[in-house]
A and B are shown apart, each in its own frame.
Chain A
C-alpha cells in the first residue's frame, strides 16, 4: 500500500530563517502531491499542489519541490514568521484516485 512519511515530527527555527520540511513516499508514483497547513483544532488548509512533471512551485514565501526519482518533496518557508507556526501536512492521491493519503505532519514552531 502507499506510504507517506514526514520524517520530522517537530521543527523549531528562529524568525527570519528558512524552514525546510521533508515528505517521502513509497510504493507509488503519484500524479501530484499537495501540502496543507493545519492549526490546532482546525481543518487543514490547502497551500500548494505540485504535479509530477513540475520540479518546483512557488507561492509568495512558500516553495515546493518534487523529485519523482527520490520519491521526495521538500517544502520551504522563507523569511519565516511566528505566524507560520502550525502543523504542515503533505498528501498524495491514492492509486484509485479517490482519496488523499496524508503524512503525520511536521509541527513547525517559529520563535521571535
Chain B
C-alpha cells in the first residue's frame, strides 16, 4: 500500500505566473482534499474531490482550481499567483468523509 505523494516538493514562482501541483492518493482512496498552510497556522481547506467531482470548497477565489482523475490522483492549479499564495500546500486522501485523512509531505510554494 503506497502513501500519499505530492510533487514537486519545492517550487519558486514569480507573481502573476500559474502553477500546477500534483498529488497521488493512497491506494483505495476515492476522496482527495487540498489544504493551504501558512507559516504558524493550521491547514486551511481549499476544496475536496470525490470520484472526479468537486465535493466542497473553502473560502478561496476561483483562481484556485482543481481536477481529479479516474485513478483518483489530483491536481491543484493556481492562476495569477500573488505573494500571499506562498505556503505549504497539502494533499490529503481518505476512503470517505468520516474517516481519518492521510496527508502527503506537501509542496512548499514560494512566490517572489
A104 adjacent to B56 (CB under 8 Å): no
* Chain A residues numbered 1-49 whose CB sits less than 8 Å from any CB in chain B: 31-32, 34, 36, 41-46, 49
B100 adjacent to A34 (CB under 8 Å): yes
Q: Is A85 an interface residue (CB 8 A)?
A: no
Q: Is B67 an interface residue (CB 8 A)?
A: no
A43 adjacent to B106 (CB under 8 Å): yes
A46 adjacent to B100 (CB under 8 Å): yes
A104 adjacent to B102 (CB under 8 Å): no
Cα(A11)–Cα(B102), bound, Å:
26
Our count of residue pairs bridging A and B at CB distance below 8 angstroms stands at: 63
Name B's A-contacting residues (CB within 8 A). 4, 33, 35, 40-45, 48, 55-56, 58, 88, 90, 92, 97-106, 108
Give the chain B neighbours of A45 by CB distance below 8 A: 103
Least Cβ–Cβ distance between B109 and chain A, in angstroms? 13
A93 adjacent to B98 (CB under 8 Å): yes
- Identify A46's interface contact among B40, B56, B90, B101, CB under 8 A: B101
Name A's B-contacting residues (CB within 8 A). 31-32, 34, 36, 41-46, 49, 89, 91, 93-94, 96-105
Give the chain A neighbours of B97 by CB distance below 8 A: 93, 97-98
A99 adjacent to B48 (CB under 8 Å): yes
A99 adjacent to B108 (CB under 8 Å): no
Choose among A89, A94, A100, A103 the residue with the greatest number of B CB atoms under 10 Å from its CB: A100
Cα(A57)–Cα(B58), bound, Å:
30
Give the chain A neighbours of B55 by CB distance below 8 A: 98
A102 adjacent to B106 (CB under 8 Å): no
